[in-house]
Amino acid sequence: MITRTLAVDPDHPADEPLLRAAELLRRGGLVAFPTETVYGLGANALDADAVARIFPAKGRPAHNPVIVHLASAEDARRLVSAWPRSADLLAERFWPGPLTLVLPRAPGVPDVVTAGGPTVAVRVPAHPVALALLRAAQLPVAAPSANRSTRLSPTRAEHVRRDLDGRVDLILDGGPTTGGIESTVLDLTARPPRLLRPGLVDLPSLEAVLGPVARPGAPRDASGPLRAPGMLARHYSPRTPLACLPDGAALVEELARAGARVGWVTLTPRPAPAGVLVVPLPPDPAGYAAQLYEALHHLDDADLERIVVDLPPESDEWMAVRDRLARASSS
Ligand code: TXA
Ligand code: MG
Whether the per-residue pLDDT at 135 is higher than 60: the answer is: yes
DSSP character string of 200-217: SS-HHHHHHHHS--BPP-
What's the number of CA atoms in the CB half-sphere (13 Å) around residue 270?
A: 25
Contact 281, 267 (CB under 8 A): yes
To the nearest whole number, what is the mean pLDDT of the chain?
A: 94
In the prediction, which pLDDT does 220 show? 44
With vertex at residue 239, the alpha carbon angle to CA 313 and CA 161, rounded to the nearest 5 degrees, is 105
CA of 65 to the centre of ligand 1 (A): 7
Output the ligand 1 site: residues, CB below 6 A: 35, 37-38, 40, 64-67, 98, 100, 102, 114, 117, 119-121, 143-145, 182-183, 185, 196-197, 229-230
Pocket test for ligand 1, best of 100, 119, 151, 152 (most atoms within 8 A of CB): 100
pLDDT tens per residue, range 250-304? 999 999 999 999 999 999 999 999 999 999 999 999 999 999 999 999 999 999 9
Cα–Cα distance for residue pair 44/331, rounded to 1 Å: 34
pLDDT tens per residue, range 3-27? 999 999 999 999 999 999 999 999 9
Cα–Cα distance for residue pair 231/216, rounded to 1 Å: 9
Pocket test for ligand 1, best of 119, 182, 323 (most atoms within 8 A of CB): 182
Cα–Cα distance for residue pair 49/110, rounded to 1 Å: 10
Q: Which ligand is nearest to the CA of 99?
A: 1
Classified as helix, coil or strand, 40 is strand
In the prediction, which pLDDT does 237 show? 85
Number of H helices, E strands in the chain: 11, 14
Torsion angles phi and psi, residue 17, rounded to 5 = -60, -35
Q: Is the pTM of this model over 0.85?
A: yes
DSSP character string of 120-156: EEEE----HHHHHHHHHHTS-EE--BSS-TTBPPPSS
